[in-house]
A and B are shown apart, each in its own frame.
Chain A
Amino acid sequence: AQTVTQSQPEMSVQEAETVTLSCTYDTSENNYYLFWYKQPPSRQMILVIRQEAYKQQNATENRFSVNFQKAAKSFSLKISDSQLGDTAMYFCAFMPPNSGYALNFGKGTSLLVTP
């Protein structure tokens, strides 16, 4: 079974600063997909960024980037120039290749961006 670990239950960052959320996972698979989802107070799940394990290049989406270390099974999310609207729960998720596309979520990190 695959497990996803987010070791930071809560984090805080000041507006305009940079913050990194950590995520590690455990799998014996070689090809898989990794995701970061944001869940604001509205509870709507929003895809932030995704990474295919076979791609060595780290994914980037505007202010969001990942540090994907396949050998270490680490997939951290860096948020640059943090904005108040980034305040939310952030979930790291893992999709193994033969799961029928179901996502396995970590427990989440609650991020608070302060003025």
Chain B
Amino acid sequence: GAVVSQHPSRVICKSGTSVKIECRSLDFQATTMFWYRQFPKQSLMLMATSNEGSKATYEQGVEKDKFLINHASLTLSTLTVTSAHPEDSSFYICSVQGDHINEQFFGPGTRLTVL
């Protein structure tokens, strides 16, 4: 399967600042990537679907102006949390859609803490 990395693995920032999280598909050209958010002891919730070369599709309730997603190449998608607040503190996970419909490969996640 595809190898997916995320950077950084952990980030702590001050309230009001912006944070960028990178998701890289190391050995696979990913047309579609996904961004999920996982609060402590909760499940993964889909935030948005990122398609290379086009605008991301956001799930209901996810503010597109706050969570900026860019999928400029087949190996890189970025999630920028703008004007972060403590309630944005969470674990953010990306995944890559594989060749087959039932394949999805996950990154190791990024823990964001907003002070």
Residues of A within 8 A of B (CB): 33, 35, 42-47, 50, 52, 91, 95, 100-108
- Does any Cβ of A come within 8 Å of B25's Cβ? no
Contacts A100-B32, A100-B57, A101-B104 given; does A43 touch B109 at CB 8 Å = yes
Q: Are A104 and B46 in contact (CB under 8 A)?
A: yes
Binary flags per residue of B91-111, CB closer than 8 Å to A gives 1, else 0: 101010100011010101100
Q: Give the contacts of B63-115 with A (CB-CB under 8 A).
A: 91, 93, 95, 97, 101-102, 104, 106, 108-109
Contacts A33-B101, A101-B97, A101-B101 given; does A107 touch B42 at CB 8 Å = yes
Query: How distant is the Cα of A89 from the Cα of B42 in the complex, in angstroms?
Result: 10
Closest to B106 in A: A45
Q: Are A102 and B108 in contact (CB under 8 A)?
A: no
Q: Are B104 and A100 in contact (CB under 8 A)?
A: no
Q: Are A105 and B44 in contact (CB under 8 A)?
A: yes
How many chain B residues have a CB neighbour from A under 8 Å?
Answer: 20
Residue of A43, A46, A91, A101 near B43 (CB, 8 A) is A91
Mostly, the B contact residues are strand
**Which residues of chain B have C-beta atoms less than 8 A from A45's C-beta?**
44, 93, 95, 106
- Supplied contacts A101-B34, A102-B46, A102-B49, 6 more A-B pairs, CB within 8 Å: A33-B101, A33-B102, A45-B106, A47-B104, A50-B102, A105-B43
**Which residues of chain A have C-beta atoms less than 8 A from B44's C-beta?**
45, 91, 103, 105
Binary flags per residue of B19-38, CB closer than 8 Å to A gives 1, else 0: 00000000000001010001
Query: How distant is the Cα of A95 from the Cα of B57 in the complex, in angstroms?
Result: 17
**Which residues of chain A have C-beta atoms less than 8 A from B91's C-beta?**
43
Query: How distant is the Cα of A48 from the Cα of B108 in the complex, in angstroms?
Result: 16
